[in-house]
């Protein structure tokens, strides 16, 4: 039994080593700075390994890009001085507490040899906390200076040198027969509902795709729901009943379902305008405001109405019912609809689990109305998600094209999310953020619907 256990361990280690052997050399990512207050040191005396000293830890603070709080008193730095070796080994054991009340255990081992003073801290954070990301990495730290009654330590995470361009997945052409109508086609209906906005009652509508074989009387068969938002100046018909000069989404859906590449789903295409024609007198400013706020209408009006009208997993009409069924719901959009998707993720992750931003990035403005750089947008949405109980339970599938006017902005946002938003995991085995680009892909529905050919089977595995 023991031999088999160690043999399995060796196989696992060798396998892991072969998988990662071609990755880039490591680099350091700053995580936090500790400002630790120390009490008076005392000596235990000479022991078997050298001279033992103990330095009490009496408090302090810490802060980094995504974490801050206080150092708790009660820990200590246990140092072993060995004059023969010309070094001191240290082991500091203590706890820190974040500003939102999460306790994290720290064990920091290191050596002092002349001017060399480096340590390797290990963090133990609760698995159900938003700081669980601290558990799965190697860290190094060194003194950042001394302060009255204590020491400052900077901590870095060791990671592979990251080449974002090399991680972008290329989008391949779709099968030619998917451009033609399928033998068995779903149906498209107009769905009317009432929305409430700014104290007004609006009569609105959406287009709904029902897969081939859908039977209203079959209450036992339940369907997941995908909401797709159109781009600026477009309509509820833009995805499902487009002009003949681009690939209809209906063909993609019919073929994917018929070929068994995804399970049958319901697709709902609403509008963030008051209706298909009322874009707003303030043009783009109205569009931005309505994409940002559509999550309110989606959760309060559209989801409860449309999903109770069809055979879905929603049972009830209140917010609790919407949250309970979030695993069976996705939201995506093109261009301004992609902006709406990012806002839905920021403000309404409690209602939706899967997100499909298609050729569009996240727009965040300062008090002067100036659009902020991707780093600021990434940090903003990270902060929004950290406040949600679903911070570790969402998936993002981003797509665009190299010739798309939104291509570089979305690529830059994705890279910023990787660098500055810890709640997003990119290019990792447990990734919740994916990104792909089509060479030559442009800003129109023909390419966007091709992206959905690749994305939907990832979400709706049969």
pLDDT per residue over 69-118, tens digit each?
A: 999 999 999 999 988 888 999 999 999 999 999 999 999 999 999 999 99
192 shares its domain with 242:
yes
pLDDT at 7 over 90: no
Residue range 239-260: mean pLDDT, rounded: 87
Backbone dihedral region of 9: left (phi > 0), alpha (psi from -120 to 50 degrees) or beta? alpha
Residue 167: partners with Cβ closer than 8 Å, 6 or more residues away: 426, 427, 435
174 shares its domain with 153:
no
Per-residue pLDDT band for 197 (boundaries 50, 70, 90) equals confident
Instruction: Supply φ then ψ for residue 9, to 5 degrees.
Output: -65, -45
**pLDDT recorded at residue 63:** 95
Question: In this predicted structure, which of 25-39, 119-133, 161-175, 354-368 has the lowest mean pLDDT?
Answer: 161-175
* Distance separating alpha carbons of residues 254 and 269, to the nearest angstrom: 16
User: Token digits for 324?
Assistant: 């309970």
Total-model pTM: 0.73
Position 92 in a domain: yes
**pLDDT recorded at residue 8:** 52
294-327 pLDDT tens trace: 999 999 999 999 999 999 999 999 999 999 999 9
The chain-wide mean pLDDT, for the chain, equals 91
395 shares its domain with 334:
yes
pLDDT at 280 over 70: no
* Distance separating alpha carbons of residues 35 and 39, to the nearest angstrom: 13
CATH code (residue 146):
2.40.160.20
Position 239 in a domain: yes
Question: Which of 160, 189, 208 corresponds to the end of one domain?
Answer: 160
Position 265 in a domain: yes
Taking residue 190's Cβ as centre, other Cβ atoms within 10 Å add up to 10
Q: How many domains does the chain have?
A: 2
**pLDDT recorded at residue 279:** 56
Position 3 in a domain: no
272 shares its domain with 396:
yes
Position 152 in a domain: yes
150 shares its domain with 194:
no
**pLDDT recorded at residue 316:** 94
* Distance separating alpha carbons of residues 272 and 278, to the nearest angstrom: 10
pLDDT at 130 over 60: yes
Residue range 265-291: mean pLDDT, rounded: 77
**pLDDT recorded at residue 283:** 60
pLDDT at 38 over 60: yes
Angstrom distances, CA of residue 318 to CA of 297, 300, 304, 305: 13, 8, 7, 11
**pLDDT recorded at residue 288:** 85
**pLDDT recorded at residue 5:** 47
32 shares its domain with 68:
yes
119 shares its domain with 253:
no
Percentage, residues of the chain above pLDDT 90: 78
Contact 205, 194 (CB under 8 A): no
Position 393 in a domain: yes
417-441 pLDDT tens trace: 998 999 999 988 789 999 999 999 9
**pLDDT recorded at residue 414:** 97
202 shares its domain with 317:
yes
Side-chain-side CA neighbours of residue 143 (13 Å): 10
Polymer length in residues for the chain: 462
pLDDT at 293 over 60: yes
Angstrom distances, CA of residue 247 to CA of 177, 236, 252, 453: 11, 16, 8, 11
pLDDT at 12 over 60: no
180 shares its domain with 146:
no
CATH code (residue 358):
3.40.50.1820
71 shares its domain with 171:
no
Could you list the residue range(s) of the whole structural domain that residue 386 is in? Answer: 167-459
Position 16 in a domain: no
* Distance separating alpha carbons of residues 50 and 65, to the nearest angstrom: 39
207 shares its domain with 78:
no
146 shares its domain with 186:
no
Question: Which of 128, 160, 192 corresponds to the end of one domain?
Answer: 160
**pLDDT recorded at residue 314:** 97
**pLDDT recorded at residue 10:** 52
Question: Which of 160, 192, 221 corresponds to the end of one domain?
Answer: 160
Position 173 in a domain: yes
């Amino acid at each position: 039994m023991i031999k088999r256990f160690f043999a399995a361990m060796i196989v696992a280690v060798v396998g892991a080593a072969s998988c990662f052997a071609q990755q880039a050399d490591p680099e350091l990512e700053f995580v936090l700075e500790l400002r630790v207050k120390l009490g008076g040191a005392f000596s235990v005396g000479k022991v078997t390994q050298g001279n033992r000293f103990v330095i009490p830890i009496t408090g302090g603070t810490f802060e980094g890009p995504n974490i801050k709080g206080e150092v708790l008193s009660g820990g200590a730095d246990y140092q072993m001085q060995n004059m023969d070796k010309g070094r001191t080994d240290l082991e500091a054991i203590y706890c820190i507490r974040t500003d939102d009340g999460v306790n994290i255990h720290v064990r920091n081992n290191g050596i002092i040899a002349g001017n060399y003073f480096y340590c390797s801290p290990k963090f133990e954070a609760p698995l159900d906390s938003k700081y669980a990301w601290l558990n799965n990495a190697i860290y190094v730290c060194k003194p950042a200076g001394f302060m009255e009654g204590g020491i400052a330590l900077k901590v870095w995470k060791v990671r592979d040198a990251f080449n974002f361009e090399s991680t972008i997945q290329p989008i391949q052409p779709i099968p030619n027969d998917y451009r033609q109508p399928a033998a068995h086609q779903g149906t498209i209906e107009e769905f009317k509902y009432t929305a409430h906005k700014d104290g007004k009652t609006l009569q609105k509508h959406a287009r709904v795709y029902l897969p081939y074989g859908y039977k209203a009387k079959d209450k036992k068969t339940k369907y997941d729901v995908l909401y797709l938002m159109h781009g600026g100046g477009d309509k509820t018909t833009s995805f499902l009943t487009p002009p003949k000069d681009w690939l209809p989404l209906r063909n993609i859906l019919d073929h994917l379902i018929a070929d068994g590449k995804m399970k049958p789903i319901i697709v709902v295409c609403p509008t963030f305008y008051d209706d298909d024609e009322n874009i707003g007198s303030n043009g783009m400013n109205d569009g931005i405001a309505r994409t940002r706020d559509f999550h309110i209408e989606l959760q309060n009006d559209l989801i409860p109405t449309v999903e109770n009208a069809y055979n879905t997993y929603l049972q009830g009409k209140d917010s609790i019912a919407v949250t309970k069924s979030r695993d069976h719901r996705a939201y995506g959009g093109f261009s301004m609809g992609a902006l709406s998707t990012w806002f839905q993720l920021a403000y309404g992750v409690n209602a939706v689990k899967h997100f499909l931003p298609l050729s569009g990035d996240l727009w965040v403005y300062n008090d002067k109305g100036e659009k902020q750089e991707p780093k600021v947008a990434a940090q903003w949405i990270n902060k929004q998600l950290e406040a949600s109980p679903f911070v570790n339970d969402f998936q993002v599938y981003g797509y665009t094209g190299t010739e798309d006017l939104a291509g570089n902005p979305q690529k830059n946002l994705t890279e910023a999310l990787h660098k500055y938003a810890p709640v997003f995991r990119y290019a990792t085995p447990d990734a919740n953020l994916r990104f792909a680009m089509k060479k030559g892909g442009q800003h129109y529905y023909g390419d966007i619907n091709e992206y959905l050919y690749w994305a939907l089977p990832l979400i709706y595995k049969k």
